[in-house]
Amino acid sequence: MGKKRSPRVALVVDDSMLVRHCVSRFLEQRGFSVTAATNGVDAMEKLCELHVDLVVTDMQMPHMSGSELIRELKKTPATAAIPIIIVTGRRPDEDPQEGADYSIYKDIDIESQLGAALIEIFGKSASAGAGK
């Protein structure tokens, strides 16, 4: 009998409940275990308790922006290698990736962009279900 792998763990950080729900549901349907945070401060607190395989973050949030969160993650050895996907309302020519691995845009089909980002980061297995 083969050993069952644990699901990948994602942290979804966004002050919009609708975006958090949409992204979380999409990831859960692909086998991720998802934890949500409402801003960068909340995310940093959760990261003290949790090992994650992916961070999906908004850029404009109260208390700690996505840019500040990414800087904190990249300067901390335990979190520096975690892949980061930015969810932003700005177009690519207006918003550099800010140290993230991938950027997706709120005004374009989020699910198709997120699916493409998962494949780029984790390979084809991410499209059918992570950890299965």
Q: What's the pLDDT at 131?
A: 43
**What confidence score (pLDDT) does residue 103 get?**
86
Asked if residue 2 is part of any domain, the answer here is: no
Number of other residues whose CB lies within 10 A of the CB of residue 75: 9
- Asked if residue 84 belongs to a domain, the reply is yes
Q: Which two tokens stand for residue 71?
A: 């800087």
Contact 106, 57 (CB under 8 A): no
pLDDT tens, residue by residue, 6-39: 789 999 999 999 989 999 999 999 999 999 999 9
The pTM (predicted TM-score) of the whole model is 0.84
Q: 76, 59 in Cβ contact below 8 A?
A: no
Q: Is residue 97 included in any domain, yes or no?
A: yes
Task: Specify whether the CB–CB gap between 131 and 7 falls below 8 A.
Answer: yes
For the chain, residues with pLDDT lower than 50 are 1, 94, 130-132
Domains of the chain: total: 1
Model pLDDT, residue 99: 81
User: Is residue 3 included in any domain, yes or no?
Assistant: no
Task: Output the pLDDT for position 130.
Answer: 42
Is 13 a member of any domain? yes
- Any idea what the CATH number is for the domain that residue 52 is in? 3.40.50.2300
- Residue 104: give the domain boundaries: 9-127
